């Protein structure tokens, strides 16, 4: 970093960059937003950017993660207020997908032609961190449904989380799945998966 910032300043700048990114992406999309505009929007020098992110892709991925965190919190709150039963598990999965599909920031970034490029430009440890966050937060939930006898104990909870996580990648392929059948296909996939995970022993 060209200049020494205190921890408090760093936090403030990072928040400003994220806000600037959120507003620019919502208005102009991902491709048309440059590092120059991001730093201008945040009121910092262009060179300062790289003290915080390796690339604009990394900042955009962080925007997705902020939304993901918000969605996780909502999901867990809702689930905490429901009984630990089959119906709640199905609702949990369907709601996850709905919240992801209807979030404007996530959709703006996911549906860009270059989401693959975003992912490829991320350092591997960034993807791993995302993976671990999903595991940390979802694992206790899956285990609770397993302990209550709602979900089968034959599959490891880690793999169940990994499976749920992988389904979200399908939202990148609306076109290949077929626009006309996309919603119904995903709904069937989610309810079939829930159905297949219920304990029958």
Single out the residue of 7, 113, 125, 201 in contact with its own copies (rule: CB under 8 A).
Answer: 113
CB of 179 to its own copies, least distance (A): 10
CA distance 133 to 105: 19
CB of 193 to its own copies, least distance (A): 5
Residue placing its CB nearer to its own copies in the complex, 72 or 121: 121
Residue placing its CB nearer to its own copies in the complex, 80 or 159: 159
Q: In sequence order, which residues have a C-beta less than 8 Å from that of residue 172 and are 6 or more positions away?
A: 110, 115, 116
Q: In sequence order, which residues have a C-beta less than 8 Å from that of residue 137 and are 6 or more positions away?
A: 72, 76
> Under the criterion CB under 8 A, does residue 120 sit at the interface with its own copies?
yes
Q: Give the CA distances from residue 115 to residues 102, 121, 138, in Å, rounded to whole numbers and listed in that order.
A: 17, 10, 24
Residue placing its CB nearer to its own copies in the complex, 44 or 109: 109
Single out the residue of 76, 119, 137, 139 in contact with its own copies (rule: CB under 8 A).
Answer: 119
Residues of span 18-47 touching its own copies by CB under 8 A: none
Single out the residue of 116, 140, 147, 153 in contact with its own copies (rule: CB under 8 A).
Answer: 116
Number of H-type helices and E-type strands within the chain: 10, 0
Q: Are 56 and 156 in contact (CB under 8 A)?
A: no
CA distance 183 to 181: 6
Residue placing its CB nearer to its own copies in the complex, 52 or 67: 67
**In 3D, which of 103, 106, 168, 102 has the Cα closest to residue 134?**
168
How many Cβ atoms are within 10 Å of 144's Cβ, its own excluded? 15
CA distance 179 to 181: 6
Residues of span 124-163 touching its own copies by CB under 8 A: 127-128, 131, 155, 158-160, 162-163
# of chain residues touching its own copies (CB under 8 A)? 35
CB of 26 to its own copies, least distance (A): 23
Q: Contact positions toward its own copies, by CB under 8 A?
A: 113, 116, 119-120, 127-128, 131, 155, 158-160, 162-163, 165-166, 169-170, 173, 175-178, 181, 184-186, 188-189, 191-197
């Amino acid at each position: 970093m060209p200049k020494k910032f205190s921890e408090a300043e760093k936090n403030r700048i990072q928040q400003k960059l994220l806000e600037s990114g959120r507003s620019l992406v919502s208005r102009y999309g991902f491709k048309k937003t440059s590092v120059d505009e991001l730093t201008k929007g945040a009121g910092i020098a262009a060179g300062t950017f790289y003290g915080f992110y390796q690339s604009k892709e990394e900042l955009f991925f962080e925007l997705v993660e902020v939304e993901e965190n918000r969605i996780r919190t909502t999901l867990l709150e809702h689930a905490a207020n429901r009984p630990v039963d089959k119906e709640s598990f199905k609702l949990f999965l369907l709601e996850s997908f709905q919240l992801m599909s209807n979030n404007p920031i996530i959709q703006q970034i996911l549906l860009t032609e270059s989401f693959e490029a975003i992912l490829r430009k991320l350092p591997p440890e960034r993807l791993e961190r995302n993976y671990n966050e999903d595991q940390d937060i979802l694992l206790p939930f899956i285990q609770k449904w397993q302990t209550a006898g709602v979900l089968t104990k034959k599959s490891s909870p880690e793999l169940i989380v990994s499976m749920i996580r992988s389904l979200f990648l399908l939202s990148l392929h609306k076109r290949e799945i077929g626009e006309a059948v996309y919603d119904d296909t995903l709904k069937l996939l989610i309810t079939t998966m829930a159905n297949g995970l219920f304990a029958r022993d």
